[in-house]
A and B are shown apart, each in its own frame.
Chain A
Amino acid sequence: DAGVIQSPRHEVTEMGQEVTLRCKPISGHDYLFWYRQTMMRGLELLIYFNNNVPIDDSGMPEDRFSAKMPNASFSTLKIQPSEPRDSAVYFCASVAWGEAFFGQGTRLTVV
């Protein structure tokens, strides 16, 4: 298995633009998490899914953020409109048997 795959690896966008981050979890894993990492706030849990259903989105910072998981092999995190303070590394992780496996992350820069 190739592990958790995220795309793009790097994204630079202008303030106000829509940004979509993508994640392909490991096949057979039934939980999927989205995290955001910054120097100031560390690793923040944004939302997590179980069997494609959003379970807890209390960490989503604002209505500008939305996440979907249309099927077991794909999830998106969308920011619309983006702002400079959204600049961070966004990680996706899939979980099975109590262990989380992280993707390589997407480094987002909003200018």
Chain B
Amino acid sequence: ELKVEQNPLFLSMQEGKNYTIYCNYSTTSDRLYWYRQDPGKSLESLFVLLSNGAVKQEGRLMASLDTKARLSTLHITAAVHDLSATYFCAAGTYKYIFGTGTRLKVLA
């Protein structure tokens, strides 16, 4: 059974700093997804990673996928307050299993 783990669970960082969120999954998955959720809101799709070595970037966020290591990373560059949210990864081809989420708080 596919299990997805994220770390850290909580992340408090200063504006302008860089940090990485890690997502490990337990069994083979050829797809990995990253979502953002603001408090009281729905989930917004950020990235869909479809192959080993895939890298996607949008603004200050960059996601990568290593299917051999069963690891995806979400890298935050020069964080700004607007990035404060909870970030989820999910794995699975048809049955999407979500990680526990990383609650990110960017301090001014």
Nearest-neighbour CB distance to chain A for B17, whole angstroms, equals 26
Interface residues on A, range: 20 to 34
- Expressed in whole angstroms, the minimum distance between the Cβ of A69 and any Cβ of chain B is 15
Which residues from chain A contact B41 at a C-beta distance below 8 Å?
104
Interface residues of B, count at CB 8 A: 20
B65-78 interface code vs A (CB 8 A; 1 in, 0 out): 00000000000000
Report how many A-B pairs have Cβ atoms within 8 Å.
44
CB-contacts of A27-43 with B (<8 A): 31, 33, 35, 42-43
Do A102 and B43 touch (CB < 8 A)? Answer: yes
**B94 close to A31 (CB less than 8 A):** yes
Distance in Å: Cβ of A100 to nearest Cβ of chain B? 6
A91 with B43: CB separation less than 8 A: yes
- Out of B48, B50, B94, name the residue touching A48 (CB < 8 Å): B94
Contact (Cβ within 8 A) A56 B98 = no
B42 touches A104 (CB 8 A): yes
Residues of B within 8 A of A (CB): 31, 33, 35, 41-45, 48, 50, 88, 90, 94-101
